[in-house]
Amino acid sequence: MGPKRVLVVGSLNMDLIVYCDRRPGPGETLAGTAFAMAPGGKGANQALAAARLGGHVSLLGRVGEDAFGERLLGSLREAGVDTRPVARTVGVSTGVALITVDGNGENSIVIVPGANGLLTPNDVAAGANLFREAGAVLLQLEVPLETVVAAARAAAAAGARVLLDPAPVPGGPLPRELLQLADVLLPNQHEAGVLAGRAVPDLAAAWDVAGDLLDLGPRAVVLKVGAQGAIVAANGRCDHVPGLEVPAVDTTGAGDAFAGALGVALVEGLDLLDGVAFANRAAALSVTRRGAQPSMPTRHEVDRLAGARDRYEPPEDAVRSS
């Protein structure tokens, strides 16, 4: 039998991206420096990231019968993702994300879910085979919460690892059952702060909050702290897996690069700490390039970075733009 698959259940969006020196305030109009349209959506990004890193990947999701949907499916197929479980729905638009990226590479995102909002627990039930073939199931929160819970249940019943990226984080608490079904909860500092009910401004706070989040039910918490890497809380201990300092061009999709890479690493049999180190490298490379899916690194690029210490300057010709 070949290696188990990575199954992603989640969103597909067309990203409409504006680059500007700073984000406008309320009522303010600013001139941006560039515009790009590129495939995105947290689910699709994670699927494409995992496929670029050598994973055997399927994506369960929903798009509209429109040009954006067509283009999103095309780029995923090109990367080797099995998109047959992505349904196409007449009369609804494909998901769209309006993204502003400032001069520090930081983004703000507004999504219009469209077809993503119509992915149901029935779609999960119809994809039962996919869960049986999966070693890891990657979940995020851009599709209805009841569908995410159904997918987590199906994954756990099939014996697959559940990786839950709680993004975008809801205003209220997540269902206890969902957190308990998660083998790995993957928040960034903002998401961890919302889930824990206290801010996570630095590494010291992340250390404490990772432990607190473990009490909510997941088997492990991987709290991402940007260039500083991640705090991993599991099995009664907490570890810091350092990240890489890189020149940040665009952080959009970095968390998705991380999740996709961690899914591949765990399916390949790496332990959690080594998997997080691998995922840190994939995320670091992704922020050196523009866009979400266009920035996802290849396996060769991530492996080549294994020897890098705590700083990495990409060669000029490696800075891709969308």
Question: Which positions lie near ligand RIB, rule CB under 6 A?
Answer: 11, 13, 15, 40-42, 45, 97, 109, 111, 142, 252-253, 255-256, 292
State the Cα–Cα distance between residues 257 and 252, nearest whole angstrom. Answer: 10
For ligand RIB, the closer CB: 58 or 293: 293
For ligand RIB, the closer CB: 123 or 256: 256
The residue of the chain with the least Cβ separation from ligand RIB equals 40
For ligand RIB, the closer CB: 36 or 308: 36
CB 13 to ligand RIB: min, Å: 4
Identify whether the C-beta of residue 109 lies closer than 8 Å to the C-beta of residue 82. no
For ligand RIB, the closer CB: 100 or 252: 252
Q: What Cα–Cα distance (Å) separates residue 119 from each residue in 66, 116, 147?
A: 17, 6, 7
Identify whether the C-beta of residue 309 lies closer than 8 Å to the C-beta of residue 278. no
CB 14 to ligand RIB: min, Å: 8
Catalytic residue among 15, 215, 256, 274: 256
CB 238 to ligand RIB: min, Å: 26
Q: State the pairing for strand pair 161-164/134-139.
A: parallel
How does DSSP classify residue 245?
Answer: B
Structure tokens at 165: 């990226």
CB 142 to ligand RIB: min, Å: 6
For ligand RIB, the closer CB: 109 or 214: 109
What residues does 35 pair with on adjacent strands?
A: 18
CB 49 to ligand RIB: min, Å: 10
Name the packing angle between helices 42-52 and 67-78 (round to 10°).
Answer: 20
DSSP 115-165: GGGG--HHHHHHTHHHHHTEEEEEE-SSS-HHHHHHHHHHHHHHT-EEEE-
For ligand RIB, the closer CB: 11 or 58: 11
Check if 256 is active-site: yes
Coil vs helix vs strand at 271: coil
- Describe the strand order of the beta sheet including 86-89 as a list of residue ranges: 86-89, 57-64, 5-9, 134-139, 161-164, 184-185, 220-224, 230-234, 237-241
Per DSSP, the chain holds a count of helices (H) and strands (E) of: 11, 13
CB 27 to ligand RIB: min, Å: 25
Task: Catalogue the active-site residues.
Answer: 256
